[in-house]
Amino acid sequence: MAWAVEPPLSQQELERRSDLVAEVRVLDVVCTGYKYEKRRERRAKYHARLQILEVKKGKAAVGETVIVHWTEGPLKSGEWSVGYYPGEEALTHLVWSPEDRAYSTTSWNAKYELKPAKSTELPKKCP
């Protein structure tokens, strides 16, 4: 059975599912380790510090810093990943994860670039 990526969420659905909707600046990105897959594949796990520029929904304050995490590809069918890059500014929709004590992106279409990063290269060194 093949799995497909879910269709894009509407603006209304993104807002409904998100705990935080904000314009942010990516301050830095760190590789935090690896997620190991069954066939000995490993995927880098990252977290980025996002500075809040403007809050559309949620309990963050302008100037506050929040953490967002994600796992980089290669992705299996039906999976998605949204990366963040130092210097980038974006409007993003985030969901709070109490167990990780960090945010993750609500859906694959939940980030809109406002100002591009100078580079989309992520750190290669992970603990």
Residue 23 has pLDDT above 60, yes or no: yes
Please give the model's pTM, rounded to 2 decimal places.
Answer: 0.87
Q: What whole-number percentage of the chain has pLDDT above 90?
A: 64
CB 50 within 8 A of CB 28: no
Listed residue (39, 55, 45) closest to 94, CA to CA: 55
pLDDT score of 118: 92
Residues 6+ apart with CB under 8 A from 99: none
Three-state secondary structure call for residue 13: helix
Listed residue (52, 45, 46, 60) closest to 91, CA to CA: 52
CB 5 within 8 A of CB 11: no
pLDDT score of 31: 94
What domains sit in the chain, N to C, each tagged with a CATH number? Answer: 11-115 (2.40.50.120)
pLDDT score of 13: 95
Calculate mean pLDDT across residues 63-81: 78
